[in-house]
Structure 1
Amino acid sequence: MTDAQKAMSDKTVLQIKGLCVALAGRGGKQLLRDVDIEVKAGEITCVVGESGSGKSLTAYSVMGLLDPESLRCTAGEILLEDENVLTVTPRRLRELRATRMSLIFQEPMTALNPVERIGAQIEEVLEIHCSDDARTRRRRVLEMLEAVHLPDPQRIFDSYPHQLSGGQRQRVVICMALILNPKLLIADEPTTALDVSTQKQILALIRELQQKFNTAVLFITHDFGVVVDVADKVVVMNQGEVVETGSRDEILRSPRNDYTRMLVSSVPSLVPQSREAVTGDVVLSIKGLSKIFVRRRILRPSTVVEAAVDCDLTLHRREILGIVGQSGSGKSTLARCVIGLETPSAGRIVLAGEELVNARGNAFRERFRRIQMVFQDPYRSLNPRVRVGESIIEGPTNFGVPRAFAMERAKSLMELVGLPVSALDRFPHQFSGGQRQRISIARALIMEPEVLVADEAVSALDVSVQARILKLLESIREKTDVGLLFITHDLRVAAEICDRVIVMNKGRIVEHGSAEAVLVHPRDAYTRALIDAAPGRHWDFRNFRPL
């Protein structure tokens, strides 16, 4: 490193001093209190903490994205290269965005216009902030698409967001954020919903571009595996305050604060504990299941997608069977066939000895009581206008259970999932993400199912809430005899909770066995690649040391 490069790397790009944010109005509740964060050029500072700790609120304060009618900064400074963004004019703030600081949102589909081509959306950034002609703008966009390692940049330029995979859309958003070479990049949970292999690629890309352009990166995450792989410095937040700051190794090896120790030790190990094989009755059996989708297009040849091919599995009562693999591997398609949301193209599904594929009438209707699903996003699966109690009892009352009896059952389930009975009278928005997921689990259990399908049920939760939900699922399977089909892209979660694991790739089951056999001694090259891609795989979080 030259003297000039060293001097640049020592330059402070972002300095947050004593930042306080409160709800608007007299006596508004303080949401951030005396937050101090510093990010230097060429440095990645990870901000970690539970949901509601103030991570994203801090990021939006830096970008000037707070709603002035709801939130206000009551004290402190936010210095972007010595310019206080809290005191600049709205016009100057718009100039700073994209040119000096940029934000990568967690969900790229909410940041992209679904009815506008990718190239036009990226060009819009250049149109607003530069005076380049159309030809120059197009060239710069194509060069940036190539820089973020997107295949066939010209095709991506002409595509709509829905025509790209999740990882490709995230690369497009990164391209938009970096095309004007800002000094500060804020990444708000940019890899949360991605599978481990895509996540590895995105993290490597951010690190590569950060080093290439000497960008200061403020990386918000709840995934400590990501912290191991990318962080230079770590800031821990809790209830709107910074409780600990240090280098990555200081925080992970010897955290001083009790809250930090709790967070780090909540991260599941990638090495599963030895478990006795579950040998009870087989509750679900799948033989030769295949699902083929045919996409028919006007004036173009039809395309055939084999989403699931010749899949076999068995699930015992009280067993947790994990299904892992990349996005598009066929995990969710298999689950949708099991629950009845898709009709298999071939194969058999047998529930407790009863064939389901050709079920009709009452037998088909009964299937939706005997197999229940817990979705990834509990807020989207709960009606925001209906009280929680009414949502929970809707299923049994539709099957003829008296309302009073169903409500008594709902009250007992509230205790089972660790929520007060009074929660039944509240609306979904009045709960945290972890509490809403508990409500979704209660809504599934009230049907007294024989099989519970959990599709990425904990992927969007922070590590401490995730740990509590996993313990809840463990206790439920012991108390209810339910068989649990657990779909996840997080291998740590699979190692923590699953008795057996199935690995899927391109619609096929490529490996299956006990969790210990698959995750510790994988036979298939694809399984080994998944494990190698897991962030922080060489770190033992519970014992605060490398493996």
Structure 2
Amino acid sequence: MTAQPVLRIENLSVALVGSPDGSARKVVQDIGLDVFAGETVCVVGESGSGKSVTSFAVMGLLAADALKPVAGRILLDGEDILQCSPERLRTLRATRMSMVFQEPMTALNPVRTVGWQIEEVLRAHSKLDAAERRRRTLEMLASVHLPDIERIYRSYPHQLSGGQRQRVVICMALVLKPRLLIADEPTTALDVTTQKQVLALIQELQRSNDTAVLFITHDFGVVSDIADRVVVMNRGRVVETGSRDAILARPVEPYTRMLVSSVPSLVPGAKNRIEGGEVLQVKALGKTYSERGFFKSGRTVHAAAEVSFTLRKKEILGIVGESGSGKSTVARCIARLIAPSSGSVKIAGTEIAQASRAQLHPLRQRIQIVFQDPYRSLNARMRVGDSITEGMRNFGASTAEANARAVELLNVVGLDADAMKRYPHQFSGGQRQRICIARALALKPEILIADEAVSALDVSVQAQVLQLLEDIRAKTDIAVLFITHDLRVAAQICDTIVVMKSGRIVEAADAESVLTKPGHEYTRQLIDAAPGRHWDFRNFQALAA
């Protein structure tokens, strides 16, 4: 490391603009950290801790009508970013510092080709001619290990996978070889194998360009794999800073210890034997899509094929696999959000695979689903109480009965009755997911499907929601079909694990057998790709490889 850091933040405070009482409420206060050339500093903390506000302040991307730096300095190679004019900031972005965002689809223009968008950076910040820009762009696409770079160059964002889109965003961020790269949760929505590839890519490009990396994340598995140093934030302040090993193995502050101990282990705990009767039987389930063109028949895609398993009362069965493996397709077929192309789906002996809409209506209350994004799952214009009671009222419950049941369910998920009168935006992400679980339980279903229900949550909130599902399972006979790409979460909560690849089941057994003695090569690849697999976070010690 050089004597002078690439990035130095000194006593940074950021306040809300236009507080009703005229005071400047600080959302980030007295932040200080350094990032040196070739170093990766991970900033961790729960939602609302100030991680992203800090990174946006560095990039000069804070909304001027909402947030304003009120104290401190942000030095990029000794130059104070907070004193720069808008024109100077625009020059510094991409040339000296750049950012990779969490969701590549929102970072890319859907109506421009990938090649055009990467070249836009070069058009704005270099004097290269068209031929040289194209050559440089293709060179960057090759450097991030994308296949068939000429095709990728001509493609639109929607024609690429999530992992490919994130690689394109990384190309845009690094095409001018900036001194500082800020990565804001760039792998949160990716499956473990794609995540491993993207992390390895960032490290490879970092080594070749001696780039300083500020990595924002809530995934301690990622921290254990890539961090040189770790900065822990809570409620807008830095609470602890140290080397990776010091923070993960010897955390000092209670808040840090709570975060680290909330990370699920990859080793499943002891499970009780499931002896309940079968509530779901899936046999030879298949779902086929046909892509059609104007002048030719398109290809046939088998999203799911010959999928068979059973689910018992009180059992939590996990379906794991990469994006595109067919996990969510199977879940949606079982919930009859889409119709299967073939096969059988029986709920307690009742066939629903080919049931008509009229036949499905009375069966809807027997199976409910909780989706990944709770904010999109709730109607922003409806009070929480109305969202929870709507299903009950549709099935004949009186308003009084529905309201009483809703209050009872809110207590079950750890919220009070006052939540009935509030709107979704007035709750945190974890609270919104609790509301979605309460709504799903309102009709007393026999089967609950959780489709990536905790993947976007902080580790501490994730632990709370997982414990909530365990408590609900213990108090009722409900069976849970748990869809996830996170093997740590599957190890924590699942009794049985089904592994899917390319629409088919490649392995199915109890959780301990699958995760400790995998029988299929693909399962072994998933486990090997899991970030931080050599760490037992709960015992604050590194495990032997």
TM-score when normalising by structure 2: 0.98
Matched residues in 1 for 2:352 and 2:311: separation? 15
Partner residue in 2 for 1:178: 174
SS state at 1:484 partner: strand
Partner residue in 2 for 1:322: 318
Which of 460, 463, 469 aligns to 1:464? It is 460
SS state at 1:201 partner: helix
SS state at 1:17 partner: strand
Partner residue in 1 for 2:81: 85
Which of 251, 254, 278 aligns to 1:282? It is 278
Amino acid at match of 2:530: A
Partner residue in 2 for 1:385: 381
Partner residue in 2 for 1:454: 450
Report the Cα offset of residue 299 of structure 1: 2.7
Matched residues in 1 for 2:81 and 2:360: separation? 60
Q: Deviations over 1:490-512 (max 9, x none)?
A: 00000000000000000010001
Partner residue in 1 for 2:337: 341
Amino acid at match of 1:134: A
SS state at 1:155 partner: helix
Partner residue in 2 for 1:444: 440
Unaligned regions of 5+ residues in structure 2, if any?
none
SS state at 1:304 partner: strand
Which of 120, 123, 130 aligns to 2:126? It is 130
Matched residues in 1 for 2:404 and 2:102: separation? 39
Displaced runs of 4 or more, over 3 A: none
Report the Cα offset of residue 69 of structure 1: 1.1
* 1:228 equivalent in alignment to 2:224: yes
Q: Deviations over 1:15-55 (max 9, x none)?
A: 00000011113302110110001000000000000110000
Partner residue in 2 for 1:3: none
* 1:367 equivalent in alignment to 2:363: yes
Partner residue in 2 for 1:31: 27
Partner residue in 2 for 1:19: 12
Partner residue in 2 for 1:544: 540
Report the Cα offset of residue 358 of structure 1: 2.5
Contact kept, 8 Å, 2:340 with 2:354, in 1: the verdict is no
Report the Cα offset of residue 361 of structure 1: 5.1
Amino acid at match of 1:510: V
Unaligned regions of 5+ residues in structure 1, if any?
1-5
Report the Cα offset of residue 362 of structure 1: 4.1
Partner residue in 1 for 2:399: 403
Q: Deviations over 1:297-327 (max 9, x none)?
A: 1234410111111010100011100000000
Residues 32-71 of structure 1 mapped to structure 2, 5 A cutoff? 32-71=28-67
Q: Deviations over 1:371-401 (max 9, x none)?
A: 1100000001111111111111111112222
Report the Cα offset of residue 181 of structure 1: 0.5
SS state at 1:535 partner: coil
Matched residues in 2 for 1:322 and 1:352: separation? 19
Matched residues in 1 for 2:459 and 2:353: separation? 38
Contact kept, 8 Å, 1:284 with 1:351, in 2: the verdict is yes
Report the Cα offset of residue 166 of structure 1: 0.5
Which of 151, 157, 175 aligns to 1:155? It is 151
Task: Out of 394-403 and 411-420, give the one that drifted further.
Answer: 394-403
Partner residue in 1 for 2:293: 297
Amino acid at match of 1:252: L
SS state at 2:65 partner: coil
* 1:256 equivalent in alignment to 2:256: no
Q: Deviations over 1:60-111 (max 9, x none)?
A: 0000111111111110000001010001101001111111110100000110
Amino acid at match of 1:440: C
Report the Cα offset of residue 405 of structure 1: 1.1
Contact kept, 8 Å, 1:292 with 1:307, in 2: the verdict is yes
Q: Sequence identity, in percent? A: 62
Question: C-alpha root-mean-square deviation of aligned residues, in Å?
Answer: 0.9
Report the Cα offset of residue 545 of structure 1: 0.8
Q: Deviations over 1:120-173 (max 9, x none)?
A: 111111111111111111111110000011101110111111110000000000
Report the Cα offset of residue 274 of structure 1: 2.3
Q: Deviations over 1:252-286 (max 9, x none)?
A: 11111110011001100000012132120100000
Matched residues in 2 for 1:44 and 1:162: separation? 31
Matched residues in 2 for 1:85 and 1:385: separation? 40
Partner residue in 2 for 1:476: 472
Matched residues in 2 for 1:133 and 1:361: separation? 59
Matched residues in 2 for 1:366 and 1:317: separation? 20
Amino acid at match of 1:288: A
Matched residues in 2 for 1:360 and 1:32: separation? 55
Contact kept, 8 Å, 1:283 with 1:315, in 2: the verdict is yes
Report the Cα offset of residue 10 of structure 1: 4.5
Amino acid at match of 1:21: V
Partner residue in 2 for 1:204: 200
Partner residue in 1 for 2:423: 427
Matched residues in 2 for 1:529 and 1:67: separation? 42
Amino acid at match of 1:404: A
Amino acid at match of 1:66: L
SS state at 1:187 partner: strand
